[in-house]
Structure 1
Amino acid sequence: MPSQTPARPSLCVFCGAKMGVNPAHAEAARRLGQAIAAQGWRLVYGAGDVGLMGEVARATQGAGGATFGVIPVHLMQMEVGKRDLSTFVVTETMHERKKVMFMNADVIAMLPGGAGSLDEFFEVLTWAQIGLHQKPIWLIDVAGYWHPLVALIDHVIAQGFAAPSLRDLFQVLTLEEVCARLEK
Protein backbone atom coordinates (compact mmCIF):
# COMPACT_ATOMS: atom_id res chain seq x y z
CA MET A 1 0.00 0.00 0.00
CA PRO A 2 1.50 3.36 -0.94
CA SER A 3 2.11 5.94 1.77
CA GLN A 4 0.55 9.37 1.50
CA THR A 5 2.44 11.03 4.32
CA PRO A 6 3.63 14.64 4.36
CA ALA A 7 7.24 15.78 4.85
CA ARG A 8 6.90 15.65 8.64
CA PRO A 9 6.86 12.08 9.93
CA SER A 10 3.56 10.74 11.22
CA LEU A 11 2.91 8.30 14.05
CA CYS A 12 -0.37 6.40 13.90
CA VAL A 13 -1.48 5.63 17.46
CA PHE A 14 -4.05 2.91 18.02
CA CYS A 15 -5.46 3.01 21.55
CA GLY A 16 -8.57 2.71 23.65
CA ALA A 17 -11.68 4.86 23.54
CA LYS A 18 -11.82 4.19 27.29
CA MET A 19 -9.38 5.17 30.03
CA GLY A 20 -8.92 1.71 31.51
CA VAL A 21 -8.39 1.12 35.21
CA ASN A 22 -4.67 1.85 35.45
CA PRO A 23 -3.86 5.60 35.60
CA ALA A 24 -0.45 4.80 34.07
CA HIS A 25 -2.19 4.24 30.73
CA ALA A 26 -3.60 7.79 30.59
CA GLU A 27 -0.28 9.22 31.73
CA ALA A 28 1.49 7.30 28.96
CA ALA A 29 -0.98 8.66 26.39
CA ARG A 30 -0.32 12.22 27.54
CA ARG A 31 3.45 11.75 27.56
CA LEU A 32 3.35 10.21 24.08
CA GLY A 33 1.29 13.11 22.75
CA GLN A 34 3.75 15.61 24.20
CA ALA A 35 6.69 13.72 22.67
CA ILE A 36 5.00 13.56 19.27
CA ALA A 37 4.64 17.34 19.25
CA ALA A 38 8.06 18.06 20.77
CA GLN A 39 9.82 16.03 18.09
CA GLY A 40 7.88 17.54 15.18
CA TRP A 41 5.88 14.43 14.35
CA ARG A 42 2.18 14.43 13.43
CA LEU A 43 -0.31 12.32 15.37
CA VAL A 44 -2.58 10.13 13.26
CA TYR A 45 -5.34 8.51 15.31
CA GLY A 46 -9.03 7.61 15.49
CA ALA A 47 -10.32 11.20 15.99
CA GLY A 48 -12.11 10.48 19.26
CA ASP A 49 -12.13 12.86 22.22
CA VAL A 50 -12.67 10.10 24.78
CA GLY A 51 -10.44 7.63 26.59
CA LEU A 52 -6.79 7.29 25.70
CA MET A 53 -7.56 8.63 22.22
CA GLY A 54 -8.64 11.95 23.69
CA GLU A 55 -5.67 12.04 26.05
CA VAL A 56 -3.05 11.58 23.34
CA ALA A 57 -4.75 14.08 21.02
CA ARG A 58 -5.20 16.81 23.64
CA ALA A 59 -1.59 16.37 24.78
CA THR A 60 -0.32 16.61 21.20
CA GLN A 61 -2.41 19.72 20.55
CA GLY A 62 -1.48 21.27 23.90
CA ALA A 63 2.20 20.94 23.01
CA GLY A 64 1.64 22.57 19.60
CA GLY A 65 1.65 19.38 17.51
CA ALA A 66 -0.23 18.55 14.34
CA THR A 67 -3.12 16.08 14.52
CA PHE A 68 -4.81 13.98 11.84
CA GLY A 69 -7.96 12.21 13.00
CA VAL A 70 -10.11 9.69 11.16
CA ILE A 71 -13.52 8.59 12.43
CA PRO A 72 -16.38 6.65 10.84
CA VAL A 73 -19.70 8.45 10.76
CA HIS A 74 -21.37 5.86 13.02
CA LEU A 75 -18.89 6.60 15.86
CA MET A 76 -19.15 10.39 15.80
CA GLN A 77 -21.36 10.48 18.89
CA MET A 78 -19.99 7.49 20.78
CA GLU A 79 -16.34 8.52 20.45
CA VAL A 80 -17.16 12.26 20.49
CA GLY A 81 -15.50 13.17 17.19
CA LYS A 82 -12.81 15.78 17.94
CA ARG A 83 -13.43 18.42 15.29
CA ASP A 84 -10.66 20.84 16.32
CA LEU A 85 -7.87 18.70 14.89
CA SER A 86 -5.43 19.93 12.23
CA THR A 87 -7.11 17.45 9.86
CA PHE A 88 -10.46 15.77 10.58
CA VAL A 89 -11.66 13.02 8.23
CA VAL A 90 -15.03 11.26 8.45
CA THR A 91 -15.28 7.87 6.74
CA GLU A 92 -18.21 5.61 5.95
CA THR A 93 -16.79 2.41 7.46
CA MET A 94 -14.34 1.13 10.06
CA HIS A 95 -12.26 -0.52 7.36
CA GLU A 96 -11.94 2.77 5.50
CA ARG A 97 -10.92 4.46 8.79
CA LYS A 98 -8.08 1.98 9.33
CA LYS A 99 -6.90 2.29 5.74
CA VAL A 100 -6.81 6.11 5.84
CA MET A 101 -4.98 6.09 9.17
CA PHE A 102 -2.46 3.56 7.91
CA MET A 103 -1.84 5.32 4.60
CA ASN A 104 -1.13 8.61 6.38
CA ALA A 105 1.42 7.20 8.82
CA ASP A 106 5.08 6.27 8.74
CA VAL A 107 5.02 4.22 11.96
CA ILE A 108 2.23 2.40 13.80
CA ALA A 109 2.16 2.44 17.61
CA MET A 110 -0.22 0.77 20.05
CA LEU A 111 -1.08 2.07 23.48
CA PRO A 112 -3.38 -0.04 25.66
CA GLY A 113 -6.83 -0.60 24.23
CA GLY A 114 -9.60 -3.10 23.71
CA ALA A 115 -11.09 -5.09 20.85
CA GLY A 116 -10.93 -2.20 18.38
CA SER A 117 -7.25 -1.62 19.07
CA LEU A 118 -6.55 -5.33 18.75
CA ASP A 119 -8.39 -5.37 15.43
CA GLU A 120 -6.25 -2.49 14.21
CA PHE A 121 -3.04 -4.18 15.40
CA PHE A 122 -3.84 -7.52 13.80
CA GLU A 123 -4.83 -5.91 10.52
CA VAL A 124 -1.55 -4.01 10.13
CA LEU A 125 0.38 -7.05 11.41
CA THR A 126 -1.32 -9.26 8.83
CA TRP A 127 -0.62 -6.73 6.08
CA ALA A 128 3.07 -6.82 7.08
CA GLN A 129 3.04 -10.63 7.21
CA ILE A 130 1.77 -10.89 3.64
CA GLY A 131 4.19 -8.25 2.37
CA LEU A 132 1.87 -5.27 1.88
CA HIS A 133 4.05 -2.93 3.94
CA GLN A 134 7.26 -2.67 5.94
CA LYS A 135 6.26 0.12 8.33
CA PRO A 136 7.44 -0.31 11.91
CA ILE A 137 4.79 -1.55 14.35
CA TRP A 138 5.42 -0.70 18.00
CA LEU A 139 3.53 -2.16 20.96
CA ILE A 140 3.99 0.38 23.74
CA ASP A 141 4.02 -1.83 26.81
CA VAL A 142 2.72 0.26 29.71
CA ALA A 143 2.76 -1.61 33.03
CA GLY A 144 2.95 -4.99 31.27
CA TYR A 145 -0.34 -4.46 29.41
CA TRP A 146 0.77 -6.23 26.21
CA HIS A 147 2.48 -9.24 27.86
CA PRO A 148 -0.57 -11.52 27.36
CA LEU A 149 -0.82 -10.51 23.68
CA VAL A 150 2.85 -11.29 23.08
CA ALA A 151 2.40 -14.63 24.88
CA LEU A 152 -0.55 -15.43 22.60
CA ILE A 153 1.48 -14.63 19.49
CA ASP A 154 4.35 -16.78 20.79
CA HIS A 155 1.81 -19.58 21.38
CA VAL A 156 0.49 -19.24 17.81
CA ILE A 157 4.06 -19.58 16.54
CA ALA A 158 4.85 -22.51 18.85
CA GLN A 159 1.72 -24.32 17.66
CA GLY A 160 2.77 -23.98 14.02
CA PHE A 161 0.14 -21.45 12.89
CA ALA A 162 2.70 -18.77 12.06
CA ALA A 163 6.38 -18.68 11.26
CA PRO A 164 8.79 -17.38 13.90
CA SER A 165 9.34 -14.39 11.59
CA LEU A 166 5.94 -13.07 12.72
CA ARG A 167 7.67 -11.83 15.90
CA ASP A 168 10.06 -9.79 13.74
CA LEU A 169 7.19 -7.73 12.32
CA PHE A 170 6.56 -5.78 15.54
CA GLN A 171 8.53 -4.56 18.52
CA VAL A 172 7.53 -4.35 22.17
CA LEU A 173 8.89 -1.07 23.52
CA THR A 174 8.63 1.01 26.65
CA LEU A 175 7.27 4.52 26.38
CA GLU A 176 10.78 5.82 26.97
CA GLU A 177 12.10 3.76 24.05
CA VAL A 178 9.34 5.08 21.77
CA CYS A 179 10.03 8.68 22.79
CA ALA A 180 13.75 8.15 22.05
CA ARG A 181 12.91 6.79 18.59
CA LEU A 182 10.80 9.86 17.84
CA GLU A 183 13.94 11.97 18.37
CA LYS A 184 15.76 10.29 15.47
Structure 2
Amino acid sequence: MNDLNKICIFCGSSDGNDLAITDAAKKLGEIFAERNITLVYGAAKIGVMGTIAKSVLDNKGKVIGIIPNFLKKKEVVHLGLTQLITTENMHERKMKMQEESDGFIALPGGMGTFEELFEICTWLQLGLHQKPIGLLNVNGFYNDLINMLETMVRKGFLSMENYNLLLVDSNPIILLKKMEEFKKPNLPKWLDSDKT
Protein backbone atom coordinates (compact mmCIF):
# COMPACT_ATOMS: atom_id res chain seq x y z
CA MET A 1 0.00 0.00 0.00
CA ASN A 2 1.24 3.47 -0.92
CA ASP A 3 1.06 6.22 1.71
CA LEU A 4 -0.66 9.16 0.05
CA ASN A 5 -0.03 11.93 2.55
CA LYS A 6 0.44 14.61 -0.12
CA ILE A 7 -1.15 14.53 -3.58
CA CYS A 8 -0.42 16.95 -6.38
CA ILE A 9 -3.41 18.05 -8.46
CA PHE A 10 -3.07 19.17 -12.08
CA CYS A 11 -6.16 21.06 -13.25
CA GLY A 12 -7.44 24.12 -15.06
CA SER A 13 -6.92 27.74 -14.09
CA SER A 14 -10.31 28.31 -15.78
CA ASP A 15 -13.68 27.14 -14.46
CA GLY A 16 -14.84 25.67 -17.76
CA ASN A 17 -18.56 25.42 -18.48
CA ASP A 18 -19.43 22.03 -16.95
CA LEU A 19 -20.64 22.37 -13.36
CA ALA A 20 -19.93 18.66 -12.77
CA ILE A 21 -16.21 19.51 -12.95
CA THR A 22 -16.47 22.24 -10.30
CA ASP A 23 -18.54 19.90 -8.12
CA ALA A 24 -15.93 17.13 -8.52
CA ALA A 25 -13.14 19.52 -7.47
CA LYS A 26 -15.12 20.53 -4.36
CA LYS A 27 -15.81 16.90 -3.50
CA LEU A 28 -12.18 15.88 -3.95
CA GLY A 29 -11.13 18.75 -1.68
CA GLU A 30 -13.52 17.51 1.00
CA ILE A 31 -12.11 13.97 0.68
CA PHE A 32 -8.54 15.27 0.99
CA ALA A 33 -9.36 17.20 4.17
CA GLU A 34 -11.29 14.27 5.63
CA ARG A 35 -8.40 11.86 4.96
CA ASN A 36 -5.73 14.35 6.07
CA ILE A 37 -4.19 14.41 2.56
CA THR A 38 -2.28 17.64 1.88
CA LEU A 39 -3.10 19.22 -1.47
CA VAL A 40 -0.10 20.24 -3.58
CA TYR A 41 -1.03 22.42 -6.55
CA GLY A 42 -0.17 25.48 -8.64
CA ALA A 43 -1.11 28.13 -6.03
CA ALA A 44 -3.84 30.02 -7.94
CA LYS A 45 -7.17 31.04 -6.43
CA ILE A 46 -8.94 31.04 -9.81
CA GLY A 47 -10.56 28.30 -11.88
CA VAL A 48 -10.69 24.62 -10.90
CA MET A 49 -7.36 25.19 -9.11
CA GLY A 50 -8.96 27.74 -6.81
CA THR A 51 -12.05 25.60 -6.26
CA ILE A 52 -10.19 22.58 -4.94
CA ALA A 53 -7.86 24.70 -2.78
CA LYS A 54 -10.82 26.55 -1.24
CA SER A 55 -12.60 23.25 -0.58
CA VAL A 56 -9.59 21.76 1.23
CA LEU A 57 -9.06 24.92 3.30
CA ASP A 58 -12.78 25.33 4.09
CA ASN A 59 -12.72 21.81 5.50
CA LYS A 60 -9.64 22.56 7.64
CA GLY A 61 -7.18 20.70 5.40
CA LYS A 62 -3.66 21.67 4.35
CA VAL A 63 -2.65 23.18 1.01
CA ILE A 64 0.83 23.74 -0.45
CA GLY A 65 0.93 26.06 -3.45
CA ILE A 66 3.91 26.14 -5.83
CA ILE A 67 4.23 28.94 -8.37
CA PRO A 68 7.00 30.39 -10.53
CA ASN A 69 7.93 34.00 -9.86
CA PHE A 70 6.77 35.33 -13.24
CA LEU A 71 3.24 33.92 -12.79
CA LYS A 72 3.01 35.39 -9.30
CA LYS A 73 2.73 38.78 -10.95
CA LYS A 74 0.15 37.70 -13.54
CA GLU A 75 -2.02 35.03 -11.91
CA VAL A 76 -4.26 35.61 -8.95
CA VAL A 77 -2.18 33.92 -6.25
CA HIS A 78 -3.98 32.36 -3.29
CA LEU A 79 -2.58 34.10 -0.22
CA GLY A 80 -4.39 31.97 2.37
CA LEU A 81 -2.52 28.72 1.81
CA THR A 82 -0.81 26.60 4.46
CA GLN A 83 2.45 27.08 2.54
CA LEU A 84 3.39 29.04 -0.60
CA ILE A 85 6.57 28.08 -2.45
CA THR A 86 7.97 30.34 -5.17
CA THR A 87 10.25 28.91 -7.86
CA GLU A 88 12.43 30.56 -10.50
CA ASN A 89 10.67 28.99 -13.50
CA MET A 90 8.15 26.39 -14.71
CA HIS A 91 10.68 23.55 -14.81
CA GLU A 92 11.66 24.14 -11.20
CA ARG A 93 7.96 24.35 -10.28
CA LYS A 94 7.23 20.91 -11.75
CA MET A 95 10.31 19.40 -10.13
CA LYS A 96 9.22 20.83 -6.76
CA MET A 97 5.69 19.47 -7.24
CA GLN A 98 7.14 16.02 -7.88
CA GLU A 99 9.42 16.22 -4.83
CA GLU A 100 6.61 17.40 -2.52
CA SER A 101 4.05 14.77 -3.56
CA ASP A 102 3.33 11.10 -2.96
CA GLY A 103 1.07 10.86 -6.01
CA PHE A 104 -0.65 12.89 -8.72
CA ILE A 105 -4.20 13.37 -10.00
CA ALA A 106 -5.25 15.21 -13.14
CA LEU A 107 -8.67 16.83 -13.12
CA PRO A 108 -10.04 18.52 -16.26
CA GLY A 109 -7.98 21.39 -17.61
CA GLY A 110 -6.30 22.76 -20.72
CA MET A 111 -2.87 22.63 -22.34
CA GLY A 112 -0.98 23.16 -19.08
CA THR A 113 -2.82 20.30 -17.38
CA PHE A 114 -2.06 17.95 -20.27
CA GLU A 115 1.58 19.04 -20.32
CA GLU A 116 1.98 18.40 -16.58
CA LEU A 117 0.17 15.06 -16.78
CA PHE A 118 2.22 13.71 -19.68
CA GLU A 119 5.51 14.90 -18.26
CA ILE A 120 4.89 13.20 -14.92
CA CYS A 121 3.79 10.02 -16.79
CA THR A 122 6.99 10.12 -18.86
CA TRP A 123 9.07 10.52 -15.70
CA LEU A 124 7.35 7.41 -14.30
CA GLN A 125 8.09 5.46 -17.50
CA LEU A 126 11.74 6.48 -17.24
CA GLY A 127 12.00 5.52 -13.57
CA LEU A 128 12.58 9.10 -12.36
CA HIS A 129 9.86 8.51 -9.76
CA GLN A 130 7.64 5.58 -8.77
CA LYS A 131 4.53 7.40 -7.59
CA PRO A 132 0.94 6.65 -8.68
CA ILE A 133 -0.73 8.89 -11.27
CA GLY A 134 -4.52 9.15 -11.44
CA LEU A 135 -6.86 10.58 -14.04
CA LEU A 136 -10.21 11.70 -12.60
CA ASN A 137 -12.44 11.32 -15.64
CA VAL A 138 -15.23 13.70 -14.65
CA ASN A 139 -18.34 13.43 -16.82
CA GLY A 140 -16.39 11.75 -19.64
CA PHE A 141 -13.97 14.68 -20.01
CA TYR A 142 -11.01 12.41 -20.73
CA ASN A 143 -12.79 9.80 -22.90
CA ASP A 144 -11.19 11.05 -26.12
CA LEU A 145 -7.74 11.13 -24.50
CA ILE A 146 -8.16 7.53 -23.32
CA ASN A 147 -9.19 6.56 -26.86
CA MET A 148 -6.06 8.28 -28.20
CA LEU A 149 -3.86 6.37 -25.74
CA GLU A 150 -5.51 3.13 -26.92
CA THR A 151 -4.70 4.12 -30.51
CA MET A 152 -1.08 4.68 -29.47
CA VAL A 153 -1.04 1.12 -28.08
CA ARG A 154 -2.57 -0.31 -31.27
CA LYS A 155 -0.09 1.57 -33.46
CA GLY A 156 2.89 0.40 -31.40
CA PHE A 157 3.91 3.72 -29.83
CA LEU A 158 2.81 2.88 -26.29
CA SER A 159 3.24 -0.44 -24.53
CA MET A 160 0.29 -1.88 -22.65
CA GLU A 161 2.48 -1.86 -19.52
CA ASN A 162 2.98 1.90 -19.83
CA TYR A 163 -0.67 2.46 -20.77
CA ASN A 164 -1.62 0.79 -17.48
CA LEU A 165 0.60 3.19 -15.48
CA LEU A 166 -2.15 5.83 -15.78
CA LEU A 167 -4.91 4.94 -13.31
CA VAL A 168 -8.35 6.08 -14.48
CA ASP A 169 -11.70 6.38 -12.74
CA SER A 170 -14.66 8.74 -12.55
CA ASN A 171 -15.12 8.06 -8.82
CA PRO A 172 -12.55 9.83 -6.60
CA ILE A 173 -12.77 7.24 -3.79
CA ILE A 174 -12.12 4.35 -6.21
CA LEU A 175 -9.32 6.31 -7.90
CA LEU A 176 -7.59 6.91 -4.55
CA LYS A 177 -7.91 3.19 -3.75
CA LYS A 178 -6.27 2.31 -7.09
CA MET A 179 -3.46 4.77 -6.27
CA GLU A 180 -2.95 3.25 -2.82
CA GLU A 181 -2.70 -0.23 -4.38
CA PHE A 182 -0.44 0.87 -7.26
CA LYS A 183 2.56 -1.42 -7.71
CA LYS A 184 5.77 0.29 -8.73
CA PRO A 185 6.79 -0.73 -12.26
CA ASN A 186 10.03 -2.42 -13.26
CA LEU A 187 12.42 -0.24 -15.21
CA PRO A 188 12.56 -0.96 -18.95
CA LYS A 189 15.47 -3.29 -19.75
CA TRP A 190 17.28 -0.60 -21.74
CA LEU A 191 17.19 1.74 -18.73
CA ASP A 192 18.22 -0.83 -16.13
CA SER A 193 21.98 -0.32 -15.79
CA ASP A 194 22.42 -3.67 -14.01
CA LYS A 195 21.28 -5.54 -17.14
CA THR A 196 23.32 -3.67 -19.77
TM over 0.5: yes
Matched residues, percent identical? 36
| Contact in 2 for aligned 1:39/1:182 (Cα 8 Å) | no
Task: Pick from 59, 74, 80 the counterpart of residue 76 of structure 2.
Answer: 80
Moved over 6 A (4+): 181-184
2:165 and 2:179 map into 1 onto residues whose CA distance is 19
Cα deviations by residue, 1:36-91 (Å, 9 ceiling, x for unpaired) = 01111100000010000000000000000011000111212433111211110111
Q: Indicate the residue corresponding to 2:20 in structure 1.
A: 24
Task: Pick from 50, 55, 68 the counterpart of residue 46 of structure 2.
Answer: 50
Following superposition, the deviation at residue 149 of structure 1 comes to 1.0
Task: Pick from 133, 137, 149 the counterpart of residue 153 of structure 1.
Answer: 149
- Structure 2 alignment gaps of length 5 or more: 182-196
User: What SS does the corresponding residue of 1:161 show, helix, strand or coil?
Assistant: coil
| Contact in 2 for aligned 1:14/1:120 (Cα 8 Å) | yes
- Structure 1 alignment gaps of length 5 or more: 1-6
Change (3 A) 1:22 1:104: same
Change (3 A) 1:35 1:183: farther
The alignment status of 1:106 with 2:134, answered yes or no, reads no
Q: Indicate the residue corresponding to 2:188 in structure 1.
A: none
1:181 and 1:22 map into 2 onto residues whose CA distance is 26
Task: Pick from 143, 166, 178 the counterpart of residue 175 of structure 2.
Answer: 178
Could you say what the CA RMSD is over the residues aligned between the two structures, in angstroms? 1.9
Q: Aligned AA for 1:83? A: L
Q: TM-score under structure 2 normalisation? A: 0.85
Q: Indicate the residue corresponding to 1:130 in structure 2.
A: 126
1:114 and 1:88 map into 2 onto residues whose CA distance is 23
Q: TM-score under structure 1 normalisation? A: 0.90
| Contact in 1 for aligned 2:8/2:39 (Cα 8 Å) | yes
Between Structure 1 and Structure 2, how many residues are aligned?
178
Q: Indicate the residue corresponding to 1:142 in structure 2.
A: 138
Q: Which has the larger radius of gyration?
A: 2
| Contact in 1 for aligned 2:63/2:82 (Cα 8 Å) | yes
| Contact in 2 for aligned 1:71/1:90 (Cα 8 Å) | yes
Following superposition, the deviation at residue 154 of structure 1 comes to 1.2
| Contact in 2 for aligned 1:17/1:79 (Cα 8 Å) | no
Q: Indicate the residue corresponding to 2:36 in structure 1.
A: 40
| Contact in 2 for aligned 1:35/1:182 (Cα 8 Å) | no
| Contact in 2 for aligned 1:47/1:68 (Cα 8 Å) | yes
